Amino acid sequence: MIQQNRVPQKKFTLNLHNSAIDYIDRILSEVSGMKCLILDQETIGIISLIYSQSQILKKDVYLMEKIDAAASTKQKLQHMKVIFLIRPTQENQTLLLQEIKDKRFCEYYIFFTNTLSNFYIEQLAEADDSDLIKQLQEIYLDYYIVQPDTFTLNIPSTIALTKSVSQWNSKDEQLFQRVLEGLSATVYSLRRIPMIRYQGSSEICAKLAQKLSQTMREEYEQSQSQFMLSNCLLLILDRREDPATLLLNQWTYQGMLHELIGIQNNRIDIRQGQKALNQTASIGKTDSENEFVISSSLDDFFAENQYSNFGELAQNIKDFIDKVTQQKKETVQINSLEDMQKAVDKIPEIRKMSGNLSKHVALSCELSKLVEERQLLKVSKVEQDIVCNEAKSEHQKAVFQMLEDRTIQTYEKLKLVMLYALRYENCDKISRMKDVLRDLGVKNNSLNLINHLLDYSGKARRQGDLFSDKNLLSKAQQKFKSVFKDVPNIYTQHQPYFLTIIEQILNNKIKDNEFPATNLHYFRERPAEIIIFYVGGTSFEEVKEIGLLNKQPNSPNILLGGTYIHNSRTFLAEICQLAYENNIDIVVDKSNPRNDNKFHKF
């Protein structure tokens, strides 16, 4: 038999997940014996994405505490060693100094996720009069790893940084410093000295690029052996260049989960989606039946299907169930997602063979309900046409029809008007669309989002042509057909604008005046590695595109990051902040920017 030659899988050289695992393994393994692990609020989230609690406990960690809680107890644990893994914030530094003075543990091993000042190191040395500090180290783990090719800084809003730098206050400077520290730690952990390009029209991108170049040059001069000048490009982009991607409904598995329910640190709670429909179906269920971990590193089925469209996902689940039922010689008729759920409940072997499959069946059923209740297929067709085609009169008619359709949620209607306003900014019909929304009960603070969006990323704010039909990457229409009666046929045309920029980079056609390079490092050839960072946040649609590019054998390795990973609601919650920055009277609940209910009450 002739054996088929397999194409070797491309090695991903920008894998943050592997470097982070290496950091944590060494920290927990090198400190022998019983130990306590003390984290802060951010490092709890950072660690939870790459290491489970059970994995930590296997490393002889008998106690875990938060640093602020640890500071409030005076219990002596001098039979134990302690590991601190914390961010170098002023608050953490103060709490740690007091902890050293209290001498609660027999030995201290201290790891900061970013650089420290020499002055603070001297303060620690003075406080440690009993020589309890056995190790003090800076590691570069100041970011959240969503998956090997995606990271975020988990900063819900950077809208304050869109002001002129001359208008920044001390809080804005602190926010900028957090972004700088997170991005620099990312690059440092990869041991790269990249060429840095930035969006020339963006003041914040320019400042971030220049400041990063300065700090990296200083770091490189001090420890050249730890870094390499590489054929790696760091591209810093401004979210204002493409707001449309964040307003669209999504049709791939990972994107739908985030848009319709919400993913937080790779965890999802289906009760959020049910709240949006005013349902109480989860009452009586345990947290484990409502809350799920969604991780490509821990879940092979999710890794294989996270970029699948909804129809493909349902078919893949069905194929797996069919395989199991054939082995068991069972006969199960599956024509819907509900039938799949019944099959999983009926046949225990399905759960045994794939513990994760029942989770994905439950999530798929939930997504199907949300799509049907919100009439999202109908809405999405109009959305896609607005962002991909120039047809002003047709789009006016379609939007007004959607506004009059009582089966469409008000939130979806508002987003449609926003997309129309972005495309046809000076159209006099926009005021009439606002009047219709007002008649539907939409409050002025929500209507003001249309103007705030244009202030944030209207034509005057954008460098490129967001709605150009001349993109180098073709906008081929894609129709996804499903064999299931409760899974819609999905219709998408849109591709994120940054693919145009990536295409220019790969064809060596990027313009220096539009994307200048700093003087840190420069090369002319096509980059072998690309790091893309969005100030203002990225999206799972863009994550998908990078994931697909990374699977192509001739594509460079690409790492995508941003200050946040938005869905439409968190993005619009950020746009609301413009009102505060500009001292406009607006009422909105800021207590939880990820809470769909709180943000959106019309």
Mean pLDDT lowest among 5-9, 85-89, 303-307? 5-9
Mean pLDDT lowest among 1-15, 292-306, 498-512, 547-561? 1-15
Mean pLDDT value of segment 66-92: 89
**494: pLDDT strictly greater than 50:** yes
Beta-bridged to residue 560, according to DSSP, are 150, 532
Of residues 351 and 299, more confidently modeled: 299
Tokens of 18: 């592997």
Mean pLDDT lowest among 266-275, 342-351, 576-585? 342-351
3-state secondary structure at position 233: strand
**65: pLDDT strictly greater than 80:** yes
**105: pLDDT strictly greater than 70:** yes
Residue 33 DSSP code? S
Cβ(36)–Cβ(65) below 8 Å: yes
**77: pLDDT strictly greater than 80:** yes
Mean pLDDT value of segment 296-314: 89
Q: Is the dihedral angle over the CA atoms 280, 281, 284, 290 positive or is it negative?
A: negative
Of residues 252 and 474, more confidently modeled: 252
Phi, psi of 110 (to 5 degrees): -115, 125
Q: For residues 486 and 557, what is the distance between their CA atoms, to the nearest angstrom? A: 38
Of residues 11 and 349, more confidently modeled: 11
Q: Name the percent of the chain in helix, strand, coil, to the closest 5.
A: 50, 15, 35
Q: What is the DSSP string of 549-579?
A: HHTSTTSPEEEEEES-EE-HHHHHHHHHHHH
Band of pLDDT at residue 588, cut at 50, 70 and 90: very low
The model's pLDDT over 219-230, given as tens digits with 9 standing for 90+, comes to 888 887 788 888
> What confidence score (pLDDT) does residue 583 get?
56
**Can you state the angle between helices 170-189 and 203-222, rounded to 10 degrees?**
50
Band of pLDDT at residue 598, cut at 50, 70 and 90: very low
Cβ(243)–Cβ(453) below 8 Å: yes
H/E element, 136: strand 133-138
Residue carrying the six token digits 């008649």: 439
Mean pLDDT lowest among 223-232, 527-536, 542-551? 223-232
Tell me the one-letter amino acid at 244.
A
The model's pLDDT over 385-425, given as tens digits with 9 standing for 90+, comes to 999 999 999 999 999 999 999 999 999 999 999 999 999 99
Cβ(81)–Cβ(34) below 8 Å: yes
H/E element, 418: helix 410-423
Strands 144-147 and 133-138, sheet pairing? unpaired
> What confidence score (pLDDT) does residue 72 get?
74
Tokens of 597: 């209910």
Q: For residues 106 and 431, what is the distance between their CA atoms, to the nearest angstrom? A: 69
> What confidence score (pLDDT) does residue 345 get?
63
> What confidence score (pLDDT) does residue 316 get?
83
Residue 252 DSSP code? B
H/E element, 369: helix 357-374
> What confidence score (pLDDT) does residue 317 get?
80
